[in-house]
Structure 1
Amino acid sequence: MILTFALGAGLVSLVLAVSVYTISRGYLDVQRQRSAERQASADADFMRGRLAMPGASAQEVLTALDPPANTALLLRWEGEWFTSQASVGPGDLPADLVPAVTSGTQTTLPLNHDGRPFLAVGIPLPGGSGLFEIAPLEELQTTLAILRTVLAACGIAATLGAAALGMWASRRVLQPLRDVAGTAAQIAGGELDTRLERTHDRDLATITESFNSMVDSLQRRIERERRFFGDVSHELRTPLTTLVTGVGVLDRYSDDMPERSQRALRLVVNEVDHLRRLLDDLLALARTEAGLHHDPPEPLSMGELLAHTMADSNRSGELLVVAADCRVNGRKLALERAFVNLMDNADRHGGGLVGVTVQRVGRDVVIHVDDAGRGVPVDERERVFERFATGHTARGGTSGTGLGLALVAETVAAHEGRVRCTDRPGGGARFTVTLPCIDD
């Protein structure tokens, strides 16, 4: 918008300046020519009267004239030339001027003498004679130069003024959009009580009210989902806990059962365990999306967090390599669960976890989780983070819930980070988590 205002004003200023200068120059040229012709006519009338007197000398009559400053006079009288200035002679006149004047025609022609502009006016006199007046145009040229400078300055000032006006107008026009964007960003960050301020501008009042109504509706829906989440988690956990406990009791006495019953019990145990893990992942994923967390964000050392996570999950600390550590602002439980899911994914579907590396790249901390499997095909590397990506999508695994990597992606995104899957140098898959550091 600023560029548009500036270009528009510049174009208008250019057109106006060229128009004003052209018209002014034409007018001043005409006025200067008329002034020179009037002066020359008056001088010619004076000379006609004086030369008609008996015994009049042409040179004395010419000398008696008082022309304007820097104006030279030449007189052709009875075939002879007389001049008021020794530096100007008949050879300095335009070639077409003398024949025209001696033939009885008043003529005005431009003249350039010693690099300076002049106007030569010829007035016929009796007997084929003539008076030639050479008037300077330097004053006119100076006036035109000043006019050009003033017009250029006005054009530049108008362009700069239009740019400033465009900046002010663009800020005023775009400010409501900035307010909407800022409010939307705050709402997306979890501040659901944020609203746009009411305005007295009738054009913006409708947008403000519609936006606030939309956010009110969104907040009510999220609150309903949160209540639904709490109800569902309670209703599902209670019977599932009972089922797990009952199956666990039966499993302890499985040796006393017939072989066929043992196989059936083993299937039930596996399915109940799968259902328990699926419910845990679903609830964790729903909690992450709804912004419900048991722990607030806090500064966390990634090296210490991963060491603690690997120790709690009974994994060897020798697999962890901390090349460069830094702290992140995160939720400890959520990040621990995300990295456990990555390690479990490596063990279940990637041939086993072979290493976890922590390093710093610029203002980010980068964590590599490597496995010893066959790797992930390029066309599957985005799909593995989708929900319920089981079967061939999860590298042939069927024991997972299909939510582990989806929960990782949601958790990392909630911490303003990103996760991706690539090839590990030497073979296998590498899952890379990048999180922003808070260290200076």
Structure 2
Amino acid sequence: MRRRLRLPAWTATLTWKAAVFITVMCCALAALLGALVHVSVTRQTVDSAREKALERLTDVTEAYEAGEPLPRFAGVDPPGLPSALRGLATGGRRGTLVAKLDGRPVMWAAGPADGRALAVRVDYSLSARTISGLDKAIVGSSVLAIGATLLVGAFAVTRITRRLHLTAQVARRISAGDLDARVNDPRTRDPSRPEDEVATVSGALDTMASSLQGKLEREQRFTADVAHELRTPLTGLSAAAELLPAGRPSELVQDRVRTMRALTEDLLEISRLDARSEQADLDVHELGPLTERAVRATGTGAEVRIVRDVRVETDRRRLERVLGNLVANAHKHGRVPVVVTVDGPVVTVRDHGPGFPAYLLEHGPQRFRTESGGKGHGLGLTIAVGQSAMIGARLEFADAPGGGALARLTLPVGPEAPDDAP
């Protein structure tokens, strides 16, 4: 199977396409104009030389009929006369033809003379040099015009593409969570200035970002306010539940109260992550022991395998929160055994259940959405993703080979301990 030739990435840019388009159009226009000028000037030059040659032929014909001697540029069946023109003259007709004589261009004119060809020649060197010089001038001026047009066009297109790149850069910043990013194109801020298409796109992006920012801020405030308002009655409800007589109803109430308190704390944590109001307390830790301690704290009995330990720069509390949520999610929605593996700065949590839902693999965790059939609000993995971003780690989700869900957490490596450290 033949492999398709893959062009470099820069050939897909608007600047490159515009440069190619301008070059092709300039070349086509230069070729068309050059051909028209060449044909027009050549025709005028040839017609002028033909008229001069025919005038000489008329004079020489009168001298030949009068029996006068012929000039040196004329003769009967002269050597070098083209055979096509000779045949035309012997056939009783007059004609002209440009040909070479001793390496020089000559305009021949011939007519009938007693069954032979009476011919004259006119030097065509100056006319040929004029046409050749004209062709060179056309080519040279076309190259200069194409170069100048290409430079001006590239400059104009670059100004447009620079604004498009800025708009794309701001869009990427917004998608990464920087909702304060704006293009602020001057054409959109000044109503007196006409807007082009790029300014229209930039203005639409800024409007969309402002609308999105306002909506998310309202949602964050609502989530935080609801969570804060729920904490006080839940605390009282929890205390009241402890006073209930022992029994199944009391256990059910206390279990529901614990679930509500956990949900409230998760909502508060998500609102703080969304607001980006917290800072990570980074320090250097041994990843293996830190992972073992975090897994033991879950009380799930997950297996920990340390293939290669390493020192990482992280926030211990936030990392334990991430690992705890991943292990708890694996036990809640997957199947045992759950294995936590430390291999350098990479920690993987694998279960042997049905794997992650398709929406999660494609779009990441979503709040209040689960499709595994178990209990949950979709907040555990959402918090894990947010806390991972806070400590500069990368959390990825995939289906494990052979079945099961696989969460991979890659942490930034810390400075190595010196060899002579106690």
Question: TM-score scaled by structure 2?
Answer: 0.72
Residue 308, structure 1, aligned to residue 281, structure 2 = no
1:430 to 406, 411, 414: 406
Q: Deviations over 1:108-135 (max 9, x none)?
A: 234355776543222566x677642334
Q: In 2, are the aligned partners of 1:5 and 1:165 still within 8 Å (CA)?
A: no
- Give 1:19 deviation, angstroms: 1.9
- Give 1:279 deviation, angstroms: 2.1
The residue number in structure 1 matching 2:355 is 376
CA RMSD of aligned residues (A): 4.2
- Quickly say closer, same or farther: Cα 1:285–1:226, change in 2 above 3 A: closer
Q: In 2, are the aligned partners of 1:343 and 1:369 still within 8 Å (CA)?
A: yes
The residue number in structure 2 matching 1:403 is 379
Q: What is the rounded CA distance, in whole Å, between the counterparts of 1:158 and 1:346 in structure 2?
A: 69
The residue number in structure 2 matching 1:362 is none
- Quickly say closer, same or farther: Cα 1:213–1:109, change in 2 above 3 A: closer
**Counterpart residue identity of residue 238, structure 1:** T
Q: What is the rounded CA distance, in whole Å, between the counterparts of 2:109 and 2:290 in structure 1?
A: 106
1:268 to 239, 253, 267: 253
- Give 1:282 deviation, angstroms: 2.7
SS of residue in 2 equivalent to 1:155:
helix
**Counterpart residue identity of residue 387, structure 1:** R
Residue 33, structure 1, aligned to residue 27, structure 2 = no
Q: What is the rounded CA distance, in whole Å, between the counterparts of 2:227 and 2:324 in structure 1?
A: 22
| Mapping for residues 5-404 of structure 1, pairs under 5 Å | 5-41=22-58, 51-52=67-68, 58=69, 62=71, 65=72, 73-76=73-76, 89=79, 92-98=80-86, 100-101=88-89, 105-112=93-100, 117-122=105-110, 131-189=118-176, 191-195=178-182, 196=184, 198-199=186-187, 200=190, 201-203=193-195, 215-248=209-242, 261-288=246-273, 290-296=274-280, 304=286, 307-314=289-296, 319-321=304-306, 323=308, 333-348=317-332, 349-359=334-344, 366-371=346-351, 373-376=352-355, 382=361, 385-390=365-370, 393-394=371-372, 397-398=374-375, 400-404=376-380
- Quickly say closer, same or farther: Cα 1:132–1:436, change in 2 above 3 A: farther
Q: Deviations over 1:266-292 (max 9, x none)?
A: 22222222222222223333333x233
Equivalenced residue count is 385
Unmatched tracts of structure 2, length 5 or more:
1-17, 416-422
Q: Deviations over 1:322-357 (max 9, x none)?
A: 5485867x7665444222211122334331432223
Q: What is the rounded CA distance, in whole Å, between the counterparts of 1:102 and 1:19 in structure 2?
A: 36
- Quickly say closer, same or farther: Cα 1:193–1:128, change in 2 above 3 A: closer
Unmatched tracts of structure 1, length 5 or more:
53-57, 66-72, 84-88, 251-256, 360-364
- Quickly say closer, same or farther: Cα 1:116–1:379, change in 2 above 3 A: same
**Counterpart residue identity of residue 399, structure 2:** T
